[in-house]
Each structure stands twice: as structure tokens, then as C-alpha cells.
Structure 1
Amino acid sequence: MDKQYYVGIDIGSTASKVVVLDDEKLVKSFCIPTGWNSKETAKNILQRLQDDGLSENMNCAATGYGRICVDYADKVITEITCHAKGAYALFGVDGTVIDIGGQDTKIISLENGMVRDFLMNDKCAAGTGKFIEVMANRLGTDFEELYALASVGDSLSISSMCTVFAESEIISYIGSGEKRENIAAGVIDSVANKVINLAQKHGILDEIMLTGGLSYTPYFIELMSQKLGKKIHTHHLGRYAGAIGAAISLRPKNSTPIQFK
């Protein structure tokens, strides 16, 4: 019997994540910029899967912001379901999943590996990756430099809940001669506070799992841990939680769980 591949595609507003599983293991994972056109991104993903010889005997599930653009998907699944499945597969514990995406933040409570409840902030970019991107551009830095500056700065208050008004605060700080590292520290501190406020509004369980792009940033993880007074679990595949959940949803129910090491 030919090998079956289970492909999970998570097309987010900023980045698109792809995971390929077989019956035993993670075969491949990759991440590409979503760009301006999700349909073109979906075509590029399919081409890459074909080039790697993974499109034969492929079952595909799509999730995320641009999931309806994956016209070759066998299944389309909501983000919350996929992120919950993916987080449980990665961490193996119940608790609170905090997923910080490009344009939204999701707080998901897991119970027995299933979604018990969730809260999603998708009305404003404040507290998301897009907020950090906008502020990094304003400060003339990339992400890595912004985090490096923030780690040695003294945080300035950025009180606005709106990205546009927060950017105005930063412009004022720049105009008054404040140090870049102090402004950078204020930006990251502002994001952490907004995420924590959302999580506390929803309710935080004992175990906290951070997924999404910021789960790869040691400075942000440490800052969040300090503010919450709790250890935050991360995983080297945390960015792929949604794609992993989508792929897992395709596997037979009696399949042996895959160990994501």
C-alpha cells in the first residue's frame, strides 16, 4: 500500500505554515510569507509539495485566515479547533493556550485535549505581531534588533489600546529624544500587557502554552512569565500548532499519536 501523507496548511495573515505527517512521524514542515494574495500562496505551497514528491496520496486540511483559498484541500477547519489539537499534540497537557498571530490573539482553554472555551481578539492589531511590525518599522529596526534593544531598555509607558494612537505616542517619544531601547522596551511591554489582560479576562488555567511567532522569542517569553508569575511552556514547533492540528484531524482516529520532539 502506498504511503499516505496528511498535510496541514495554516494560511495566516502574515505567514503560512505547512506540516506533512505520515502514519508514524512528522515528515516535513515549512513556513513562507503569506504575501498579499492567499490564493497565490496556496498555489506556491502545492508546487513545493509536488517538487518534494509529497502530493501523491495526499490528504489535505486547511485552516487560518486564508483557508478558503486552498482549493485543493479535502477539508477546511476553524482555527480554534486546529490550534487546540496542535497545542495538545505538542505539549500533551491541558491548560491555557495563548496563540499570538499576525492580526489576532487567541486564548484557548483545553480540557481532556479538547476546547473547553476560547476568547479571540481580532478587532484590533494591538497585542499582535502586526503591532510589533508597525512599531519596528517606525523605529527603523527589524524584529530581532527590536527585541535586542528592548532587552537592555527601560520600558516607557505606551497606554493607547489602538495601534494608530500608540504609534502617535512613539512618534512623540522619538521627537522628545527618548532612547530607542527604552521605546522598544515599551513596545514589547505593551504587547505583553495586552495579551495578559486578554488571557486574564478569559481565565488562566495552571499550565500555560505559548504558540505563534512570538513563542520563539526568549525575551518576550521571559517577560510574560515574570508578569504572570508562572512558567510558560514553549516548543520549537510552536509556530506550526495550527497546521499540526489540521494535519492530525485527517489521520484515522485509532492512529498512534505522533511524538513531536
Structure 2
Amino acid sequence: MKYFLGVDIGSATTKVVLLSYDGSGDKILGYSIKETGPDGNKTALDLIYDLLKTHNLSLDNINNIVATGYGRVKVDFTQKTKTEISCHAKGISFLFPNVRTVIDIGGQDSKVIKIGKNGAVVDFVMNDKCAAGTGRFLEIMSKVLQISLDGFGEVHLRTLEHVEITNICTVFAESEIITLISEGVPKEKIIKGINYSVAKRAFSLAKRVGIEMEVVMSGGVAKNIGVVRALEDLMGVNIKVPEEPQIIGALGAALFAKELS
């Protein structure tokens, strides 16, 4: 049995995936997710040791480790680093072999990747310059509304109507929402409007690379069913979501680690 680790150190969260290979196929043995904090390198190592302990393994049992994500350049315990785009394409293709379009919305950025056969990256576009359209935008609006971010999806499904959030800038959008609250607009309609606002940013990126079926959404925001439904409405397609959408980059990194052996 061979073991491989993939590490994805994002600006918001760090993810680690443990992959095994027994000669007949790859298997995800386990994964861990934690807020990155001020020291992504330490956070990643803490997750690795905890994950290995759970499976009665040590670093000596690991054949290769590959890192990706925002903090990959600072790690000192891996054999190689790979870009986020490559790892997301690799990870999604492992779970969904027929995928052609990946929409990934994380804590600080969003990206859309067009994938060819065998998980090859055909094209991609990325937004990492503005918080609008990311998980950070949702977090800020959650605090303004004083409603848990975990409830945004369920609230979204409770109403058929939503208000348009017209401001693209996060700061101005925050002021717009405060105004809507003061005007007595129901929070359900505001939340649905916020989800649509995020979905519209992703839809705009997707149109730039071209939308092809099968479409899969990854990243932490994929856990918000409201954003997923809004995207489906805007795109006119069904969107698949992995069981754990946050670990795709780390999974891809683990698969690349296997290719090094």
C-alpha cells in the first residue's frame, strides 16, 4: 500500500487529503479542514499529523506530498508544489470524469476552469482582486444581517422573490443592505439577493471561458445551496456539487503526489 498527501493552504482555510493506492485504484482515506490562521505552514502540519494519527500512520509511511494554494510557496515539507488551477482540475476530474466546467468560489477568490478530456485545463479565468463574488463577501453580509452564514441556503429556499443588490463593491453593497434593512425589506429577500449577487459574478466569469456540460461547483461557497440554485437559474443548467466541495484542490495535489512515485 502506498500513501500520498495533498495540502491546499488557502488564505481562509487549509485542507489536507490522505490518498491511498493499493495497485488497483486510488482511495480517499480521509481529509481535514481548518482555518489557516497566521501560519499556514504550521496549520498544515498540525492537520497532517492529526490525520495520520487517526489512520495509525506516520510521515515515514507517506510516499510523496504536494502542496497547492495561496500558501504553497512557504511550505517546507513537500516534494513539489502545483498551481490551484491544475489541482482543482485534477481533483474534480477524479470525482466527475465527465466534467467540462468547474466553478470554484472560495473565501478570497473565485475561478472558472474549462476542462478537456483526462482533466486537462483548456482555459480558466480568475477573480482574486475583489471580495465581491467570494465567501468573504458572504461573511461580511452575514454579520450585517446578524444571521448565520450556514443558514443562507435554507433562507434562500424559503422565498420566491429577492431584491437586486446593485453595488459591485463590497463596501457599498454593505451600505446598500443596511439601507434595505432600515426600509423594512424582509431579510429573506435580501439574503436571496445576496446569493444572486455572488452567483452573477461567477456567471460572468463562466461566460468568458464558455459553459459546457457537465458543470461542477467546488469551494466553500458550494455549501450554500442558495448560491448553487441561483447559478443554476442564471446558467440554465444542473450543477453537481461534491460531497465535500472544499477539499478539491488538496485532492488534486494528492493525485499529483501519486504521479511523482
Match of 2:83 among 73, 78, 85: 78
The runs of 5 or more residues in structure 2 that have no matched partner are none
Match of 1:14 among 12, 15, 26: 12
CA shift, 1:217, in A, is 3.1
* 2:66/2:78 contact within 8 Å kept: yes
State the distance in 1 between where 2:47 and 2:180 align.
42
- Which secondary structure does the structure 2 equivalent of 1:39 belong to? helix
CA shift, 1:70, in A, is 2.4
Equivalent residue, structure 1, for 2:98: 93
Do residues 251 (structure 1) and 258 (structure 2) align? Answer: yes
Equivalent residue, structure 2, for 1:69: 74
Equivalent residue, structure 1, for 2:59: 55
- Which secondary structure does the structure 1 equivalent of 2:59 belong to? coil
State the distance in 2 between where 1:240 and 1:247 align.
10
Equivalent residue, structure 1, for 2:239: 232
- Which secondary structure does the structure 2 equivalent of 1:249 belong to? helix
Question: Deviation digits for residues 47-97 of structure 1, max 9, x if unmatched?
Answer: 324533242232111101111232111111110010010111110014111
Residue type of the partner of 1:242? G
CA shift, 1:5, in A, is 1.4
The answer to which of 184-193 and 65-74 deviates more is: 65-74
Residue type of the partner of 2:11? S
* 2:103/2:218 contact within 8 Å kept: yes
Equivalent residue, structure 2, for 1:182: 189
Calculate the TM-score normalised by the size of structure 1.
0.90
State the distance in 2 between where 1:249 and 1:65 align.
17
CA shift, 1:46, in A, is 3.5
Do residues 107 (structure 1) and 112 (structure 2) align? Answer: yes
* 2:4/2:257 contact within 8 Å kept: yes
Match of 2:30 among 28, 31, 34: 28
- Which secondary structure does the structure 2 equivalent of 1:22 belong to? strand
State the distance in 2 between where 1:145 and 1:63 align.
30
CA shift, 1:221, in A, is 2.0
Equivalent residue, structure 2, for 1:139: 145
CA shift, 1:148, in A, is 2.5
Residue type of the partner of 1:91? F
CA shift, 1:165, in A, is 1.1
- Which secondary structure does the structure 2 equivalent of 1:87 belong to? helix
State the distance in 2 between where 1:200 and 1:33 align.
31
Do residues 118 (structure 1) and 117 (structure 2) align? Answer: no
CA shift, 1:223, in A, is 2.2
**Percent identity over paired residues:** 40
* 1:42/1:69 contact within 8 Å kept: no
Calculate the TM-score normalised by the size of structure 2.
0.90
Equivalent residue, structure 2, for 1:43: 45
State the distance in 2 between where 1:145 and 1:109 align.
31
- Which secondary structure does the structure 1 equivalent of 2:257 belong to? coil
- What's the RMSD between the two structures over aligned residues? 1.8
